[in-house]
Structure 1
Amino acid sequence: MSGEHHGFGEHPPETAPERAAEAAFDAVRTTVGSPVLFAVVWTALASGIYFSLGVVADHALGLTPVVFLIASGFFGLATMTYVEGASLHQDKGGSTVFARYAFNELWSFIAGWAVLLDYIILIAVCAFTATNYAAAFWAPLGRGAVEIAAAIAVIVYVAGGTIRGFQSTRARRLIVIVVADLALQLALVVVGLAIFFDGHVLTSDIHLGSTPKWSDAIFALGVATVVLTGLESASGLAGEVGVRRAGLKRLVASSTAFVVVIYTGIAMVAVMAIPAVRSPKPLDDDLLNAPVLGIADAFHQEWLRSGAKYALAAAATVTLIGAANSAMLGLSRLGYSLSLNRQIPSAVGRLHPTRSTPYVVIVLAAVMAIVLVIPADLDLLVGIYAFGSLLGLTIAHASVVRLRFTEPDRRRPYAVPFSVPFKGRSLPLPSVLGAGLAVLAWVSVIVFHSGARYVGLGWMGAGIALYVVYRTTQEKSVFQRITVPEQALRQVARPQEVSYGSILVPLMGSPLDDDIIQTAGRLAGEEHEDFDDEEGAVVEALWIIEVPMSLPIDARLPDGQLDQARAALRRAKAVGEEYVGVEVATATIRTRRAGQAIVEEAQRRGVEAIVMAAEEPSRIRGGARLGGRGGPRDNFVGEITKYVVAKATCPVILTAPPTDDAISSRAPAED
């Protein structure tokens, strides 16, 4: 791809810290901050062991530690892929965003729809499991109608909190909870290994093919991918968290190390401390639904047994509710992204009038999570979760690999290591390996788990059918990106269809920049003159910087050139938003060829028109052969304009090229 974005998001940086970051090209833009990223990732990681250990052990038996160790490798590969993808394209949505830029909108929807199922399942699983750990304080919470009612209450609480909005105070509370829980889990591993370690016990009951069966071991490996919990939620914060390149590397290393130590360590302790885990007989409900409490019950000393039981029960309950919060946060952002890109009806992604959260998506997800909780079948829920997780992971890996070939020059704040040259590009071997393993694990889940097979495939089939019907009835392409302005998600009623979801306006410092912004504003305003003021079109103003081949595409630009870009974009925003119902979004693009960048950005952003000033033809004298003015009539504009008109897939509206009189009569745009 020829274009390179400066900054992440739609608007140019305006504060001093952001300008410094842009100059250095070494930071991911922030409006929320890295504590939220920490809270989302680590809350999900800390909670996964509480609900996955029982289901994995019920199938893998004594092989449980090995299964979690292999799953930790899965997690390491996935983390590298997600961090590169999220830092490359900083839109909300995770793997659905990767697939959008790597393939097309249909594959983007498939990834998003699979992950949407995962979020719903995860909310249900966390709410259900939290009640079983809370039963350590009051036994009825772990069985019957009280168990279901408590789980439903947790889901309602999480949905209400997400509609109100994820505030910084909640992030700080989550961080405190996560740190305390991680310390407690690490202590459990250390104390448990010190008391129960027995190498013979670890291996004596493993007889591959019979105890456990190959089918059970393979399925358990697929289920163990719950360690991937949180990657989608965290990548959904792309564009809103500020983590430097070194911080991204530390995130990959530290989270992978945590999964290896905690998940594998607790699994080893469980196998040695609880004989039932090694037995081919199914686990009873208490061990299946609250397995970590089984480890606490195995301690011989009364003070240690009681202390560990209540401490773990309290930590697990709070952490699982926090994980449900994180999952609902990820779901709300994914739902917003799907609605904004017209992959699901805009009415489903409608934003709350005062909280600006997608409350319809949140309410629908809460209802579905409640329905899934009622059967009280953790094995079924985790199996379905593995289906969606592995499908989304496969698409994420494949997308990052393909983006290495389709966007080789785009800046990557983090790049998957261990890449090798392949066909003139860089092939990330960890992502290739991860994609292959994810496909195999996904197939195993379909083959060995009937619930995942029927519910998962049914969910995906219904979703794809609805997507195709929705796009077709709206007379929109199934494969191309189509966006609506955020205001459309705030509208209570839509009298008619929006004709211009967005209009692209490339700026190159021409004296006619104001004119083309005004033209775009009038076009957008005319389409919405009968609408309420809250709804309108988006004018996408882009400042184009052509970088010569003698310089790297990400070479540092002179401060004066960046100041000129910011001033022009601020001017464009001020001029365009004088029109009722028009929002102007701004960005800066680096490119080798301006015409190619304009066409590619128009396709990527899904705009419905391009408005641009036709630049002058070459001033070289000598006729058409030299590109001068003496040639045929097709030379009345320059090469950029001709390229855009010839290659653009949407209407191109041109203003006249500037004349010498116009240039001399216009002063430079004021800041």
Structure 2
Amino acid sequence: MAEPGDASGASREDGAAASAGSPARAGSPSPSRRVRSEARLVRSLGVPALFTIAGAAIASSLYFSLGLVARDALELTPLAYLAAGGFFAVTVMTYVEGSSLHPERGGAATFARYAFDEFWSFVAGWAILLDYLIVIAIGALAISHHLAAFWPELGRPGTEVAGAAVALVIVVRANVRGLSPGRLRRILWLQLLNGVVLLAVIVVGAVVAAGSTAPTEPASLPIWTDFVFAAIVATVAMTGIEAASGLAGEIRPRARELRRVVAMVAATALVLFLGVSIVALAVTGDGAALGGRYLEAPVLGIVASFEPPALAQGFGYAVGAVAAIVLFVAINTGMLGLSRLVYSLATNRQIPLAVGRLHERHGTPSVAIAGAGAIALVLVGTADLEFLVRLFAFGAMLAFAIAHVSVIRLRFTEPEARRAYRVPLSVGFRGAQVPLPAVLGAVTAIAAWIGVLALSERARIAGLVWMAAGVVLYVVYRRRQGGSLRARETVEPEALQEARPIAYGSILVPVSGGALDDDIVGTAGRLAGEEGEPGEAGPMIEALYVFEIPMALPLDAEVSEERLMAARQALARAKEVGEEYHGVEVATATTRARSAGTAIVEEARRRGVEAIVVAAEEPTRIRGGALLGGRGGARQRFVGEITREVLERSPCRVIVTAPPAPEPDPAPEPAET
């Protein structure tokens, strides 16, 4: 849910290559290394990245919402999901238009900022923040219940909370370290696998139901209030829209691709929602059956009704394993969306900068991520799925109502602004084209929010307390900063990076005997030379030469004299160059490994160095090298394999020295005539 165009300053990828000897510090990113890594990744995936994140929420929501929806809607469960799917479709349209008009991270908060002011932007963002916390908590709680397919004890009270705590710790740690390249691509393949499993459940369930000889029970119809709330609960999948809109500005799809995203996401939601809910009723015979024993793992309840028992057991294992992984991914996706939203709120001075503080090395909002993990664990401790889902509906309907109204208002305030996508079916009103699907979405969301207030006392109290606390925080913070409650005030992303003195007492410098060795040793020498103090031991450069041993040979195979001589010369030159800097000592060493990148990382960890200085790949004339002077489109791996592995796995700061830009080719002499 993004549009063609440049990313915002906070997320723009550094495009220019550093000059020779000029380090690009991966350890203290500005913007963060994580943001640059995400930007490269989502750009390389393009539209599939949007579908992946939205689809992850759709698929994962079935694994914990179906039981509640079926319990309340009974025989009308498919109709409840049909209503939710329709609302999902119009909301996707609204978000795509809003993100294409203002391609900034923030989703509903961004739309409200441009349509109204900062206060309403904060209200929308704070409501979505609540939803992210709840989805993370629900996903963590549901993981244990699905793993109970392998060990029933995991689904019992107490054990479920312990399992959720383990999942949350892993997610928090992974998100503090940042998004690794390739993760979204793996999630995409996982979503395809999950789709295959759910489609198999639908098909096999239909066959089982068709061959069943059990007597048909009379239809059980819900009271209207239960049905309305079931339809609201079914919208829990919509956090994926917010998470996908957080990629705005980092993906540049064309208008045709955006229309394709809308169609794909809406179709996926309708097919899965309707297919699974219809099969659930056909197999179990009563929607209430899924709201009892299998409330937290309803799809397991569906396959448990398959015949023969061996088929049920096989599907139980498959669904349990895939669901646990999908839910874990959904937690990660939720945490990713939360961290990006917190970053947006902090850089717009809507929450204290301390909340959005970036990790010193990883460049992630570690305070917010750790705090979100702790709050989610408290929510998990309630072990009350119904309360959590109803509280989610409170925040979601409020945020979606603001999003729909904002996009409608932007049709009046910015009628001529370029939009890569427009919500269809618009009618003229007072000089503007009003999108009827957005109007329908706004009316539905407002009515649903009022319904939550009227029908759920605990959700009403908890939701209003959360929103009131957020408004107080916003007002007090803005007033103390001497700012306006309505005007936009931004800070540079660097303000979120904690400024600490950087010491380079020991630096690892891998050398290879190449032309860049002098540059990288010189860079290390200048950094180390700044740290020397009279009367103290001098800073140390540790020059390392790695012998890569092919897999065909044992690791202790004899190294040729020619390679040994090259290593000695490279290390001797490194020592000569490094010790030209005052007070710097250079130690030399060699090591053997299958992979030079792995060896560098392991040596850095073993020696406890404070930084690694490496060289980027040389400029290339083939596709993918444009970032460092080559030609052709960008590719994800903008440096060589060794440098990339060091950047991803290093236990310390990494300083990359780029090669000098090549001299331009001389202009051809004019031909004589």
Give the shorter-chain TM-score range.
Answer: 0.5 to 0.7
User: 1:8 deviation in Å?
Assistant: 3.9
Q: Distance in 2 between matches of 1:401 and 1:197?
A: 47
Q: Is contact 2:4-2:252 (8 Å) kept? A: no
Q: Distance in 2 between matches of 1:191 and 1:212?
A: 28
Q: Distance in 1 between matches of 2:407 and 2:300?
A: 40
1:349-392 deviation digits (Å, cap 9, x = unpaired) = 00111111111111111100000001211111111111111111
Residue pairs, 1:413-492, within 5 angstroms? 413-492=420-499
Pick one of 189, 199, 203 that aligns with 1:186: 199
Q: Distance in 2 between matches of 1:255 and 1:225?
A: 14
Report the equivalent of 2:303. 296
Q: 1:296 to 1:6 in 2, by over 3 A?
A: closer
Give SS of 1:229's match: helix
Question: Are positions 1:119 and 2:118 aligned together?
Answer: no
Give SS of 1:343's match: coil
User: 1:278 deviation in Å?
Assistant: 4.3
Q: 1:12 to 1:491 in 2, by over 3 A?
A: closer
Question: Are positions 1:130 and 2:143 aligned together?
Answer: yes
Q: Is contact 2:144-2:164 (8 Å) kept? A: yes
Q: Distance in 1 between matches of 2:267 and 2:241?
A: 15
Report the equivalent of 2:87. 74
Quick one: percent identity of the two aligned structures?
46
Question: Are positions 1:320 and 2:330 aligned together?
Answer: no
Q: Distance in 2 between matches of 1:77 and 1:261?
A: 16
Pick one of 174, 188, 196 that aligns with 2:209: 196
Q: Is contact 1:202-1:268 (8 Å) kept? A: no
Q: Which amino acid aligns with 1:56?
A: V
Report the equivalent of 1:530. none
Report the equivalent of 2:60. 47
Residue pairs, 1:44-443, within 5 angstroms? 44-197=57-210, 205-206=218-219, 211-278=221-288, 283-284=291-292, 286-443=293-450
Q: Which amino acid aligns with 2:73?
A: A
1:219-251 deviation digits (Å, cap 9, x = unpaired) = 111111113130000001111123222221111
Q: 1:332 to 1:12 in 2, by over 3 A?
A: closer
1:544-586 deviation digits (Å, cap 9, x = unpaired) = xxxxxxxxxxxxxxxxxxxxxxxxxxxxxxxxxxxxxxxxxxx
Q: Is contact 1:201-1:272 (8 Å) kept? A: no
User: 1:302 deviation in Å?
Assistant: 2.5
Report the equivalent of 2:613. none
Q: 1:100 to 1:374 in 2, by over 3 A?
A: same
- Structure 1: unaligned runs, 5 residues or longer: 16-27, 495-671
Give SS of 1:238's match: coil
User: 1:203 deviation in Å?
Assistant: 10
1:589-643 deviation digits (Å, cap 9, x = unpaired) = xxxxxxxxxxxxxxxxxxxxxxxxxxxxxxxxxxxxxxxxxxxxxxxxxxxxxxx
1:459-481 deviation digits (Å, cap 9, x = unpaired) = 01111111111111221100000
User: 1:30 deviation in Å?
Assistant: 6.6
Q: Which range moves more in the overlay, 188-197 or 318-327? A: 188-197
Q: Is contact 1:198-1:272 (8 Å) kept? A: no
Q: Which amino acid aligns with 1:241?
A: I
Q: Distance in 2 between matches of 1:165 and 1:102?
A: 32
Q: 1:29 to 1:365 in 2, by over 3 A?
A: closer
User: 1:276 deviation in Å?
Assistant: 4.6
Q: Distance in 2 between matches of 1:81 and 1:322?
A: 26
User: 1:195 deviation in Å?
Assistant: 2.4
CA-atom RMSD in angstroms: 2.5
Q: Is contact 2:56-2:326 (8 Å) kept? A: yes
Q: Distance in 2 between matches of 1:83 and 1:29?
A: 20
Q: Is contact 1:397-1:432 (8 Å) kept? A: yes
Q: Which amino acid aligns with 2:334?
A: A
- TM-score of the superposed pair, with normalisation by structure 1: 0.67
What is the count of residue pairs matched by the alignment? 473
User: 1:194 deviation in Å?
Assistant: 2.7
Q: Distance in 1 between matches of 2:252 and 2:201?
A: 33
Give SS of 1:354's match: coil
Q: 1:149 to 1:5 in 2, by over 3 A?
A: closer
Q: Distance in 2 between matches of 1:310 and 1:80?
A: 37
Q: Is contact 1:33-1:242 (8 Å) kept? A: no
Q: Is contact 2:4-2:254 (8 Å) kept? A: no
1:176-235 deviation digits (Å, cap 9, x = unpaired) = 21100011111211221232159999997446xxx4122111111111111313000000
User: 1:57 deviation in Å?
Assistant: 1.1
Q: Is contact 1:29-1:242 (8 Å) kept? A: no
Report the equivalent of 2:8. 9
Residue pairs, 1:454-533, within 5 angstroms? 454-492=461-499
Q: Is contact 1:219-1:445 (8 Å) kept? A: yes
Q: Is contact 1:62-1:203 (8 Å) kept? A: no
Q: Distance in 2 between matches of 1:214 and 1:295?
A: 25
Q: Which amino acid aligns with 1:69?
A: L
Q: Is contact 2:130-2:395 (8 Å) kept? A: yes
Report the equivalent of 1:573. none
Give SS of 1:230's match: helix
Q: 1:157 to 1:340 in 2, by over 3 A?
A: same
Q: 1:339 to 1:12 in 2, by over 3 A?
A: closer
- Structure 2: unaligned runs, 5 residues or longer: 17-39, 502-673
Q: Distance in 2 between matches of 1:218 and 1:409?
A: 38
User: 1:7 deviation in Å?
Assistant: 3.4
